[in-house]
């Protein structure tokens, strides 16, 4: 039986044609396509500025550089991909970890409130799996305390908070276009902002701090996006809504199939957010299900179904963070519980209905649910 993959990067004929066209043109860098990619994303998100970059990590790094957070603290989620926190360290600031709400796996505003100190200059919510964080509470804490908001929207292009796209609500939104993302350029990313100063600074820093060719004003980096990357991403922008709807359909079918299994908590979508299901992530309650998360994953793999754990450790319990900051277990209980119990199932747009049925039936068989 064919293996059901956890991700299936989008490549169609239009992508192939455009990539070939770029390769044949020999205009591989600093051409028209990166600019078109930026303009079309700005239009999609309704923001004034988009700056394309080499990765989502670069987007976060340059957002923090542009806001000049050096020597200060930034509060972020304990339950995220380590890049969210690493970028704070690159900008010579200190990440402070807030716990999550188990319901959406996103940063808990009450925990943020507790962890904002006198040294804090910014909050970095992460819109994990493609569902918005509680942006009204986060923006109001930021306003009250005079803090910047840098949104880590790496996993969440197209997700909304009320009427706005995530990544457009704070001072800067940072997106990843890594191969498995809902819109990808193999590797890549971008920042979105309404602030012309921030956009200018980010675009200078992505190219060695040069204001114009060979006039360097600051210490910058090589975080540029290539024309080939833009050629892969561009055709996906106009298909993004369709691709998101396919993910949402798949998520609905999985929800329906897994409904009523005691010990499996399916993802929820709050009425104030559109979930774009970059990941469809369940939580396993082993005492009710009669099997652990890791055993379930192993048995699914035996049946040809890939799964993934996002993420097996809260960031502060990563060996590097323990070594550097001396963090201990118990700091963010919900993040620790989530890291032991979450499991992402395939939800990508190219899944067929029969494959979703196969996933559901395999889980039911494994846990003995009829
Ligand atoms: C939440 C989160 N933040 C940041 C990143 C970094 O993005 P990139 O891999 O494009 O550097 C990722 C990437 O997977 C992510 O999931």
Compute, in angstroms, the gap from residue 222 CA to the centroid of ligand 1.
Answer: 18
pLDDT at 118: 98
Substitution candidate for ligand 1 out of 176, 183, 308, 342 with most atoms within 8 A of CB: 176
- Cβ neighbours of residue 19 under 8 Å, at least 6 residues apart? 228, 231, 232
Compute, in angstroms, the gap from residue 214 CA to the centroid of ligand 1.
Answer: 31
Atom 8 (ligand 1) nearest CA: 56
111 lines ligand 1 (CB under 6 A): no
Q: For the segment 208-260, what is each residue's pLDDT rounded down to a tens digit?
A: 999 999 999 999 999 999 999 999 999 999 999 999 999 999 999 999 999 99
pLDDT at 162: 97
Q: Which numbered atom of ligand 1 lies nearest the CA of 58?
A: 11
DSSP label at 308?
B
Q: Which numbered atom of ligand 1 lies nearest the CA of 128?
A: 1
59 lines ligand 1 (CB under 6 A): no
Q: Which fold has domain 241-367?
A: 3.90.1150
Tokens of 243: 């691709």
176 lines ligand 1 (CB under 6 A): yes
CB atoms near residue 180 (< 10 Å): 17
pLDDT at 1: 80
Q: Which numbered atom of ligand 1 lies nearest the CA of 126?
A: 1
CATH match of 13-237 with 3.30.2080.10: no
Compute, in angstroms, the gap from residue 181 CA to the centroid of ligand 1.
Answer: 9
Q: DSSP string spanning 262-279?
A: TTEE-----TTEE---SS
83 lines ligand 1 (CB under 6 A): yes
Calpha distance 347→345 (Å, rounded) = 6
105 lines ligand 1 (CB under 6 A): no
Tokens of 50: 């988009």
Domain ranges in the chain are: 13-237, 241-367
Q: For the segment 249-308, what is each residue's pLDDT rounded down to a tens digit?
A: 999 999 999 999 999 999 999 999 999 999 999 999 999 999 999 999 999 999 999 999
55 lines ligand 1 (CB under 6 A): yes
Q: For the segment 25-78, what is each residue's pLDDT rounded down to a tens digit?
A: 999 998 899 999 999 999 999 999 999 999 999 999 999 999 999 999 999 999
Residue 128 has pLDDT above 90, yes or no: yes
Three-point CA angle 27, 53, 84, nearest 5°? 160
178 lines ligand 1 (CB under 6 A): yes
189 lines ligand 1 (CB under 6 A): yes
Residues 85-94: contacts with CB under 8 Å, at least 24 apart: 85/315, 85/321, 86/57, 87/57, 87/60, 87/61, 87/63, 88/60, 88/64, 88/124, 90/61, 90/64, 91/61, 91/64, 91/65, 93/64, 93/69, 93/121, 94/119
193 lines ligand 1 (CB under 6 A): no
81 lines ligand 1 (CB under 6 A): yes
pLDDT at 370: 59
Three-point CA angle 151, 100, 113, nearest 5°? 75
Calpha distance 275→335 (Å, rounded) = 20
Q: For the segment 163-200, what is each residue's pLDDT rounded down to a tens digit?
A: 999 999 999 999 999 999 999 999 999 999 999 999 99
Q: Which numbered atom of ligand 1 lies nearest the CA of 189?
A: 10
Q: Which numbered atom of ligand 1 lies nearest the CA of 187?
A: 10
What is the pTM assigned to this prediction?
0.98
pLDDT at 146: 98
Compute, in angstroms, the gap from residue 186 CA to the centroid of ligand 1.
Answer: 12
53 lines ligand 1 (CB under 6 A): no
User: Over the chain, what is the mean pLDDT?
Assistant: 97
């Amino acid at each position: 039986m064919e293996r059901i993959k956890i991700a299936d990067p989008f490549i169609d004929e239009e992508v192939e044609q455009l990539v070939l066209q770029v390769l044949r043109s020999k205009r591989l860098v600093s051409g028209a396509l990166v600019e078109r990619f930026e303009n079309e994303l700005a239009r999609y998100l309704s923001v004034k500025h988009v700056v394309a970059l080499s990765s989502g990590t670069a987007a976060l790094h340059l957002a923090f550089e542009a806001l000049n957070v050096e020597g200060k603290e930034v509060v972020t989620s304990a339950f995220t991909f380590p890049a969210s926190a690493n970028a704070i360290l690159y900008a010579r600031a200190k990440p402070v970890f807030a716990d999550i709400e188990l319901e959406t796996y996103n940063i808990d505003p009450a925990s943020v409130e507790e962890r904002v100190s006198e040294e804090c200059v910014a909050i970095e919510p992460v819109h994990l799996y493609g569902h918005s964080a509680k942006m009204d509470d986060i923006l109001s804490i930021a306003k009250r305390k005079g803090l910047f908001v840098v949104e880590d929207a790496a996993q969440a292009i197209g997700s909304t908070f009320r009427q706005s796209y995530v990544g457009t609500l704070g001072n800067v939104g940072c997106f990843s276009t890594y191969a498995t993302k809902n819109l990808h350029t193999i590797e890549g990313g971008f920042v979105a902002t309404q602030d012309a100063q921030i956009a200018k600074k980010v675009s200078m820093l992505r190219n060695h701090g040069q204001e114009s060719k060979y006039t360097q004003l600051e210490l910058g980096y090589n975080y540029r996006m290539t024309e080939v990357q833009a050629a892969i991403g561009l055709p996906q922008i106009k298909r993004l809504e369709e691709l998101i709807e396919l993910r949402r359909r798949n998520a609905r079918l999985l929800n329906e199939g897994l409904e009523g299994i005691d010990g499996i908590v399916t993802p929820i979508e709050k009425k104030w957010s559109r979930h774009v299901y970059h990941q469809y992530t369940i939580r396993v309650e082993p005492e009710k299900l009669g099997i652990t998360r890791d055993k379930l994953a192993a048995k699914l793999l035996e049946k040809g179904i890939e799964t993934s754990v996002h993420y097996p450790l809260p960031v502060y319990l990563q060996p590097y963070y323990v070594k550097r900051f001396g963090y201990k277990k118990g700091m963010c209980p919900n993040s620790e519980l989530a890291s032991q119990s979450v499991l992402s199932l395939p939800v990508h747009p190219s899944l067929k209905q029969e494959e979703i049925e196969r996933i559901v039936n395999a889980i039911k068989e494994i846990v003995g649910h009829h």
